[in-house]
Amino acid sequence: MPYAHITGWGMAVPEPVLTNDDLAKIVETSDEWIRDRTGIRERRIARENEFPSTLGVEASIQALKVANLRPTDLDLIICTSSSPEYFFPATACLIQDQLGATKAGAFDLLAACTGFIFATNMAAQAIRSGSIKNVLVVGTETLSRFVDWKDRNTCILFGDGAGAFVLQASDQPGGVLSAVMHSDGSGGDSLSLPAGGARLPATEATIHEGKHFIHMDGKEVFRFATRVMGRAATEALELAGMTTEDIQWIIPHQANYRIIETAAKYLKMPLDKFIINVDRYGNTSTASIPIATVEAAQKGQLKPGDKVVFVGFGAGLTWGALTAQWTGPLPVKRHVHPEQYRWFARVRSFFRRIIRIIEGIFFRREL
């Protein structure tokens, strides 16, 4: 049975920075309050021309570069987002098209902020089954578009960004070692985006009542998160036959510094074993774990051979953890430039649209 190795990683964040002081000009809050309660100092906000797909593509190109893979080498793209570009088509399909990953199947997976753990596990399982070799997993968000900028309970928390992993099959032991996935739909109300779906389609009233924004019972989510995080990490470790002694790093979902602190206490681990960057990006939902991972890899904290636990929680409610032995790129001779495919992809996409229009005209004539 092949092993599923994480061989590429990339991230993209928008340039514009929104500080706590900037927020204090919009809602009744302060830098001190936000830092004390969440650990967040600033977050990135997407420009008008930035979307989950464009940020996702940037992160993916980096990840493909690290893995030394061409977009056309990909068999599968799984995108996970709490702020997808559309209901459908899937953001994964937009990324597939923009990358020029012509041989890849692509779909979205929705598990809110736990999405990246669920998606990475699904990618690893597909590789372990032997049916595919190369998978791209993308977590990407422009949550700023779903935040009520008048609601100080939520608008201080979220930020935009994207992160991506490439997973590849190899006979060498290592890579993803274990994973646990949990859900409890009975808690769905505590964090939701109430309108826009089939239950509450968009109307003037839903817009007027602010139901297209994120709604959250902060205290309830805090209680849930502190309850499940340490437990999920322990479960995944046990499944891999490891203890906290065996691992070099924990990479948690970056929602709130205090939640991470509680998990550290539960696991009896020092906080310096946790990769934390919530202060600079806020909660980027599905992108938070890969962004933290990429920064740790780029700084040289995360090294090949290190054992690591990824752990997250989110709306649904969902939570989960995944253990992995960090690999790094598999040895290959060629050097590829995945960004060059972007131009081919644009031209190809344009011509495919024209062909579909022409086909449509002829098809109608035949009828």
* Token output for 197: 């779906």
By residue count, the chain amounts to: 367
Among residues 84, 139, 314, 320, the one that binds ligand COA under rule CB under 6 A: 314
C-alpha dist (Å) from residue 15 to 18, 43, 48, 157, 266? 10, 10, 12, 18, 36
Tell me whether residue 99 or residue 214 sits nearer to ligand COA (CB atom): 214
Q: Which of residues 245-284 bind ligand COA (CB under 6 A)?
A: 255-256, 283
Query: β-strands 191-192, 215-216: how paired?
Result: antiparallel
Least CB distance to ligand COA at residue 283 (A): 6
Distance CA 219, CA 73 (A): 45
Q: CA-CA distance, 184 to 114, in Å (whole number)?
A: 13
Active site residue 20: no
Cβ-based nearer residue to ligand COA, 4 or 225: 225
Q: State yes or no: residue 156 binds ligand COA (CB under 6 A).
A: yes
The residue among 221 and 232 lying less far from ligand COA, judged by its C-beta, is 221
Tokens 């559309």 — which residue?
86
Q: Which of 35, 128, 145, 152 binds ligand COA (CB under 6 A)?
A: 152
Q: Which amino acid is at 53?
A: S
Cβ proximity to ligand COA: between 261 and 306 the closer is 261
The 3-state secondary structure of 30-46 reads CHHHHHHHHCCCEEECC
CB of 34 to ligand COA, least distance (A): 6
Q: Residue 219, interface with ligand COA (CB under 6 A)?
A: yes
Tracing tokens 């987002």 back to the chain, one arrives at 81
Residue 161 makes CB contacts below 8 A (sequence gap 6+) with: 11, 12, 13, 14, 44, 55, 140, 141, 281, 284, 287, 288, 291
The yes or no reply on residue 323 touching ligand COA (CB under 6 A) is no
| Region of 28-36, 138-146, 163-171, 242-250 interacting with ligand COA (CB under 6 A) | 28-36
Instruction: Indicate whether 308 belongs to the interface with ligand COA (CB under 6 A).
Output: no
Pick the closer one to ligand COA by CB: 3 or 222: 222
CB of 224 closer than 8 Å to CB of 313: yes
| CB-nearer residue toward ligand COA: 123 or 191 | 191
For residue 312, give the nearest of 260, 266, 272, 240 by alpha carbon.
260
Q: Is 93 a catalytic residue?
A: no
Q: Rule CB under 6 A: say whether 41 interacts with ligand COA.
A: no
Report the alpha-carbon distance of residue 54 to residue 91 in Å, rounded.
10
- Candidates 125-133, 160-168, 217-225, 237-245; binding stretch for ligand COA (CB under 6 A): 217-225
Task: Establish if 221 lies at the interface with ligand COA (CB under 6 A).
Answer: yes
Shortest reach from residue 38's CB to ligand COA, in Å: 5
Report, in Å, the least distance between residue 284 CB and ligand COA: 10
The least distance separating ligand COA from the CB of residue 312, rounded to whole angstroms, comes to: 8
User: Among 113, 134, 155, 256, which one carries the catalytic annotation?
Assistant: 113
Binds ligand COA by CB under 6 A, chosen from 19, 72, 102, 153:
153
Q: What is the radius of gyration, based on Cα positions, of the chain?
A: 21
Tokens of 133: 């070799």
Q: Is 337 a catalytic residue?
A: no
What are the helix (H) ranges across the chain?
20-24, 31-38, 52-67, 91-99, 115-128, 204-208, 218-239, 257-267, 278-281, 288-298, 340-366
In angstroms, give the least distance from the CB of 328 to ligand COA. Answer: 29
Of the candidates 33, 107, 146, 266, which one interacts with ligand COA according to CB under 6 A? 33
Residues forming contacts to ligand COA in the complex (CB under 6 A) are 29, 33-34, 37-38, 113, 152-153, 156-157, 191, 216, 218-219, 221-222, 225, 255-256, 283, 314
